[in-house]
Amino acid sequence: MSFLSALQIAIPTDHTQLLILLIILIIIGLIIIVVIGFLFAFPIATLAALLVWFLTGGDLFWTAVTFLVVALISAAVGRIWRPTYHTHEHEEHAHDHEHVD
């Protein structure tokens, strides 16, 4: 059994149909990459969503709501607790312009 027959899709022979199929597959791939990126960016929200998914028996609505709420809370907390880095560029440049007699 070949790989393409296992996918159960007919490869079109027309160039326009092939182009449409490739564009659709690229869009699906980009969506998957973004979703996986969100899952890795918010691991606590992912774990909470998985827990809700198991506890509700696979209800995707409450799973999605849980992920979004926990992700928003973790993003807000991360923004509050993120240290601010102040650079002292103006002091460094002030020493460069000192006039030495």
Give the separation between CA 31 and CA 43, rounded to whole angstroms: 18
Q: Which domain holds residue 55?
A: 42-82
Q: What is the pTM of this model?
A: 0.54
Q: Are residues 21 and 54 in the same domain?
A: no
Please tell me the total count of domains within the chain. 2
Q: Domain for residue 90, yes or no?
A: no
Mean pLDDT over all residues of the chain? 80
Q: Are residues 73 and 46 in the same domain?
A: yes
Residues of the chain with pLDDT under 70: 1-10, 80-101
What is the pLDDT, as a whole number, of residue 42? Answer: 87
Q: Domain for residue 29, yes or no?
A: yes
What is the DSSP secondary structure assignment for residue 19, as one 8-state letter? Answer: H
Q: Crossing angle, helix 43-55 and helix 15-41, to 10 degrees? A: 100
Q: Are residues 19 and 48 in the same domain?
A: no
Q: Are residues 20 and 37 in the same domain?
A: yes
Q: Domain for residue 92, yes or no?
A: no
